[in-house]
Structure 1
Protein backbone atom coordinates (compact mmCIF):
# COMPACT_ATOMS: atom_id res chain seq x y z
CA UNK A 1 0.00 0.00 0.00
CA UNK A 2 1.31 3.46 -0.92
CA UNK A 3 1.54 6.34 1.44
CA UNK A 4 -0.67 9.36 0.68
CA UNK A 5 -0.27 12.80 2.20
CA UNK A 6 -3.32 14.92 2.84
CA UNK A 7 -1.43 18.23 2.43
CA UNK A 8 0.00 17.58 -1.06
CA UNK A 9 -2.33 18.49 -3.92
CA UNK A 10 -2.95 15.76 -6.50
CA UNK A 11 -0.49 15.81 -9.42
CA UNK A 12 2.26 17.63 -7.50
CA UNK A 13 5.64 15.86 -7.35
CA UNK A 14 6.53 14.26 -4.03
CA UNK A 15 10.13 14.72 -2.85
CA UNK A 16 11.66 13.02 0.17
CA UNK A 17 11.90 15.51 3.06
CA UNK A 18 15.30 17.14 3.62
CA UNK A 19 16.93 15.69 0.53
CA UNK A 20 16.71 18.59 -1.96
CA UNK A 21 16.86 21.63 0.27
CA UNK A 22 14.19 24.20 0.87
CA UNK A 23 11.78 24.84 -2.00
CA UNK A 24 10.83 28.39 -2.99
CA UNK A 25 7.30 29.52 -2.60
CA UNK A 26 5.59 30.01 -5.98
CA UNK A 27 4.75 33.58 -7.01
CA UNK A 28 7.37 35.26 -4.84
CA UNK A 29 9.30 37.66 -7.06
CA UNK A 30 11.29 40.86 -6.74
CA UNK A 31 9.17 43.54 -8.51
CA UNK A 32 11.30 46.37 -7.09
CA UNK A 33 14.35 45.13 -8.97
CA UNK A 34 12.42 44.84 -12.23
CA UNK A 35 10.96 48.34 -11.86
CA UNK A 36 14.42 49.74 -11.12
CA UNK A 37 15.95 48.09 -14.19
CA UNK A 38 13.14 49.39 -16.43
CA UNK A 39 13.49 52.92 -15.01
CA UNK A 40 17.26 52.96 -15.60
CA UNK A 41 16.78 51.64 -19.14
CA UNK A 42 14.18 54.32 -19.94
CA UNK A 43 16.45 57.05 -18.53
CA UNK A 44 19.36 55.86 -20.69
CA UNK A 45 17.17 55.76 -23.80
CA UNK A 46 15.93 59.28 -23.07
CA UNK A 47 19.46 60.61 -22.66
CA UNK A 48 20.59 58.93 -25.86
CA UNK A 49 17.61 60.33 -27.81
CA UNK A 50 18.29 63.84 -26.48
CA UNK A 51 21.96 63.64 -27.42
CA UNK A 52 21.23 62.37 -30.93
CA UNK A 53 18.57 65.04 -31.50
CA UNK A 54 20.89 67.83 -30.39
CA UNK A 55 23.68 66.42 -32.58
CA UNK A 56 21.73 65.57 -35.75
CA UNK A 57 18.47 67.50 -35.40
CA UNK A 58 18.23 70.71 -37.38
CA UNK A 59 15.84 72.97 -35.46
CA UNK A 60 17.92 76.16 -35.76
CA UNK A 61 18.15 76.44 -39.56
CA UNK A 62 14.59 77.31 -40.50
CA UNK A 63 13.90 79.09 -43.78
CA UNK A 64 10.79 80.72 -45.17
CA UNK A 65 10.10 82.41 -48.48
CA UNK A 66 8.87 85.97 -48.07
CA UNK A 67 8.17 86.65 -51.74
CA UNK A 68 9.37 85.93 -55.26
CA UNK A 69 9.36 88.69 -57.86
CA UNK A 70 10.80 89.73 -61.23
CA UNK A 71 9.62 86.56 -62.92
CA UNK A 72 10.86 86.38 -66.51
CA UNK A 73 11.69 83.60 -68.95
CA UNK A 74 15.27 83.47 -67.62
CA UNK A 75 15.14 84.40 -63.90
CA UNK A 76 13.25 84.78 -60.65
CA UNK A 77 14.22 86.83 -57.59
CA UNK A 78 13.52 84.99 -54.33
CA UNK A 79 13.41 86.92 -51.06
CA UNK A 80 13.70 84.65 -48.01
CA UNK A 81 14.46 84.66 -44.29
CA UNK A 82 16.66 82.13 -42.48
CA UNK A 83 16.95 81.59 -38.73
CA UNK A 84 20.53 80.67 -37.76
CA UNK A 85 22.51 80.54 -34.51
CA UNK A 86 23.67 84.01 -33.40
CA UNK A 87 26.25 85.27 -35.88
CA UNK A 88 26.21 81.96 -37.79
CA UNK A 89 25.85 81.18 -41.46
CA UNK A 90 23.81 78.73 -43.50
CA UNK A 91 23.87 77.23 -46.97
CA UNK A 92 20.39 77.14 -48.52
CA UNK A 93 19.21 75.31 -51.61
CA UNK A 94 16.90 77.46 -53.76
CA UNK A 95 14.72 76.00 -56.50
CA UNK A 96 12.46 77.38 -59.22
CA UNK A 97 9.69 75.31 -60.78
CA UNK A 98 7.62 75.85 -63.88
CA UNK A 99 3.81 75.75 -64.01
CA UNK A 100 3.82 72.02 -64.76
CA UNK A 101 6.07 71.32 -61.71
CA UNK A 102 9.32 70.72 -63.57
CA UNK A 103 12.47 72.14 -62.00
CA UNK A 104 13.79 74.98 -64.17
CA UNK A 105 16.58 76.20 -61.89
CA UNK A 106 18.36 75.54 -58.62
CA UNK A 107 21.33 76.95 -56.76
CA UNK A 108 22.97 76.79 -53.34
CA UNK A 109 23.35 80.15 -51.60
CA UNK A 110 25.36 80.87 -48.43
CA UNK A 111 24.01 83.54 -46.08
CA UNK A 112 25.68 84.91 -42.94
CA UNK A 113 24.07 86.69 -40.01
CA UNK A 114 25.58 89.80 -38.48
CA UNK A 115 27.22 89.32 -35.08
CA UNK A 116 24.55 88.88 -32.41
CA UNK A 117 21.68 88.44 -34.90
CA UNK A 118 19.79 85.20 -35.40
CA UNK A 119 17.90 86.01 -38.61
CA UNK A 120 19.09 86.76 -42.10
CA UNK A 121 16.73 88.28 -44.66
CA UNK A 122 18.13 88.25 -48.16
CA UNK A 123 17.14 88.04 -51.78
CA UNK A 124 18.80 86.10 -54.57
CA UNK A 125 18.43 86.26 -58.35
CA UNK A 126 18.08 82.67 -59.58
CA UNK A 127 18.76 81.96 -63.24
CA UNK A 128 16.25 79.60 -64.90
CA UNK A 129 16.05 77.62 -68.15
CA UNK A 130 12.35 78.38 -68.70
CA UNK A 131 9.67 80.66 -67.23
CA UNK A 132 9.30 79.84 -63.52
CA UNK A 133 5.98 79.70 -61.72
CA UNK A 134 7.24 79.51 -58.14
CA UNK A 135 10.47 80.01 -56.16
CA UNK A 136 11.24 77.86 -53.12
CA UNK A 137 13.82 77.32 -50.40
CA UNK A 138 14.15 73.55 -50.14
CA UNK A 139 16.45 73.34 -47.14
CA UNK A 140 19.11 75.16 -45.15
CA UNK A 141 22.00 73.58 -43.29
CA UNK A 142 25.11 74.81 -41.49
CA UNK A 143 27.59 76.37 -43.89
CA UNK A 144 30.69 74.27 -44.54
Structure 2
Protein backbone atom coordinates (compact mmCIF):
# COMPACT_ATOMS: atom_id res chain seq x y z
CA UNK A 1 0.00 0.00 0.00
CA UNK A 2 1.43 3.35 -1.02
CA UNK A 3 1.91 5.90 1.70
CA UNK A 4 0.18 9.27 1.14
CA UNK A 5 2.11 12.43 1.69
CA UNK A 6 0.63 15.84 2.45
CA UNK A 7 1.49 17.04 -1.07
CA UNK A 8 -0.58 14.16 -2.55
CA UNK A 9 -3.62 15.29 -0.58
CA UNK A 10 -4.14 18.71 -2.16
CA UNK A 11 -7.70 17.81 -3.24
CA UNK A 12 -8.74 16.33 0.10
CA UNK A 13 -9.57 17.65 3.54
CA UNK A 14 -8.76 16.11 6.90
CA UNK A 15 -12.07 15.81 8.74
CA UNK A 16 -11.34 13.91 11.93
CA UNK A 17 -8.34 12.25 13.44
CA UNK A 18 -8.48 9.02 15.36
CA UNK A 19 -8.49 9.87 19.06
CA UNK A 20 -5.62 7.51 19.81
CA UNK A 21 -3.39 8.48 16.91
CA UNK A 22 -0.43 10.73 16.54
CA UNK A 23 -0.08 13.35 13.83
CA UNK A 24 0.42 10.57 11.29
CA UNK A 25 -1.55 11.43 8.11
CA UNK A 26 -2.52 7.76 7.59
CA UNK A 27 -4.49 7.79 10.84
CA UNK A 28 -6.78 10.59 9.60
CA UNK A 29 -10.04 10.19 7.72
CA UNK A 30 -9.93 11.93 4.35
CA UNK A 31 -12.76 13.19 2.17
CA UNK A 32 -12.60 14.56 -1.35
CA UNK A 33 -13.11 18.26 -1.78
CA UNK A 34 -16.38 17.43 -3.59
CA UNK A 35 -17.66 15.69 -0.46
CA UNK A 36 -16.63 18.67 1.64
CA UNK A 37 -18.35 21.04 -0.81
CA UNK A 38 -21.56 19.00 -0.56
CA UNK A 39 -21.34 19.07 3.23
CA UNK A 40 -20.88 22.85 3.12
CA UNK A 41 -23.97 23.22 0.92
CA UNK A 42 -26.01 21.08 3.34
CA UNK A 43 -24.78 23.16 6.28
CA UNK A 44 -25.66 26.43 4.53
CA UNK A 45 -29.17 25.10 3.81
CA UNK A 46 -29.53 23.97 7.42
CA UNK A 47 -28.46 27.39 8.74
CA UNK A 48 -30.77 29.13 6.28
CA UNK A 49 -33.74 27.08 7.47
CA UNK A 50 -32.86 27.86 11.11
CA UNK A 51 -32.65 31.58 10.32
CA UNK A 52 -36.02 31.48 8.53
CA UNK A 53 -37.54 29.72 11.55
CA UNK A 54 -36.16 32.40 13.88
CA UNK A 55 -37.58 35.15 11.65
CA UNK A 56 -40.98 33.49 11.76
CA UNK A 57 -40.78 33.04 15.55
CA UNK A 58 -39.83 36.71 15.92
CA UNK A 59 -42.97 37.70 14.00
CA UNK A 60 -45.11 36.14 16.77
CA UNK A 61 -43.51 37.81 19.79
CA UNK A 62 -43.87 41.46 20.83
CA UNK A 63 -40.92 43.51 19.65
CA UNK A 64 -39.98 47.16 19.83
CA UNK A 65 -40.65 49.09 16.61
CA UNK A 66 -37.03 50.24 16.47
CA UNK A 67 -35.58 46.74 16.85
CA UNK A 68 -34.06 45.63 13.60
CA UNK A 69 -32.61 42.38 14.85
CA UNK A 70 -32.94 40.35 18.03
CA UNK A 71 -30.25 37.82 18.83
CA UNK A 72 -31.34 34.19 18.63
CA UNK A 73 -31.06 33.76 22.39
CA UNK A 74 -33.13 36.91 23.01
CA UNK A 75 -35.73 35.65 20.55
CA UNK A 76 -35.91 32.30 22.34
CA UNK A 77 -36.09 33.88 25.80
CA UNK A 78 -38.86 36.25 24.71
CA UNK A 79 -40.76 33.43 23.02
CA UNK A 80 -40.57 31.33 26.20
CA UNK A 81 -41.78 34.25 28.33
CA UNK A 82 -44.57 35.04 25.85
CA UNK A 83 -45.76 31.41 25.70
CA UNK A 84 -45.72 31.25 29.52
CA UNK A 85 -47.75 34.47 29.64
CA UNK A 86 -50.33 33.14 27.17
CA UNK A 87 -50.57 29.88 29.11
CA UNK A 88 -50.97 31.79 32.38
CA UNK A 89 -53.75 33.95 30.90
CA UNK A 90 -55.62 30.85 29.69
CA UNK A 91 -55.43 29.20 33.13
CA UNK A 92 -56.94 32.18 35.04
CA UNK A 93 -60.64 32.51 35.81
CA UNK A 94 -60.56 36.29 35.49
CA UNK A 95 -60.81 38.45 32.41
CA UNK A 96 -57.50 38.07 30.54
CA UNK A 97 -57.12 41.82 30.00
CA UNK A 98 -57.73 42.59 33.70
CA UNK A 99 -55.21 39.92 34.73
CA UNK A 100 -52.63 41.10 32.22
CA UNK A 101 -53.09 44.73 33.20
CA UNK A 102 -52.70 44.02 36.93
CA UNK A 103 -49.59 41.89 36.37
CA UNK A 104 -48.02 44.50 34.11
CA UNK A 105 -48.78 47.24 36.65
CA UNK A 106 -47.11 45.18 39.42
CA UNK A 107 -44.11 44.62 37.16
CA UNK A 108 -43.89 48.34 36.48
CA UNK A 109 -43.60 48.83 40.24
CA UNK A 110 -40.55 46.58 40.24
CA UNK A 111 -42.27 43.34 41.26
CA UNK A 112 -41.16 41.28 38.27
CA UNK A 113 -41.33 37.82 39.82
CA UNK A 114 -44.72 38.20 41.49
CA UNK A 115 -45.65 34.54 41.12
CA UNK A 116 -45.68 34.35 37.33
CA UNK A 117 -42.90 32.94 35.19
CA UNK A 118 -43.35 35.30 32.28
CA UNK A 119 -43.20 38.62 34.09
CA UNK A 120 -39.79 39.82 32.97
CA UNK A 121 -38.84 43.44 32.57
CA UNK A 122 -38.05 42.89 28.90
CA UNK A 123 -41.43 41.40 28.03
CA UNK A 124 -43.35 43.93 30.13
CA UNK A 125 -41.51 46.82 28.45
CA UNK A 126 -42.59 45.46 25.08
CA UNK A 127 -46.25 45.62 26.09
CA UNK A 128 -45.95 49.39 26.21
CA UNK A 129 -45.24 49.43 22.46
CA UNK A 130 -48.22 47.29 21.41
CA UNK A 131 -50.88 49.16 19.46
CA UNK A 132 -53.67 48.09 21.83
CA UNK A 133 -56.37 50.19 20.13
CA UNK A 134 -55.70 48.46 16.83
CA UNK A 135 -56.35 45.19 18.65
CA UNK A 136 -59.59 46.56 20.06
CA UNK A 137 -58.22 46.68 23.60
CA UNK A 138 -57.88 49.62 25.95
CA UNK A 139 -54.20 50.59 26.28
CA UNK A 140 -52.36 49.41 29.38
CA UNK A 141 -51.70 52.37 31.65
Tell me if both proteins adopt one fold, taking TM over 0.5 as the criterion: no
Q: Which has the higher strand share?
A: 1
- Select the structure of larger CA radius of gyration: 1
Q: Between Structure 1 and Structure 2, which shows a larger proportion of helix residues? A: 2
Structure number with higher relative contact order (C-alpha < 8 Å, ≥ 6 residues apart): 1
Provide TM-score, normalisation by structure 1.
Answer: 0.30
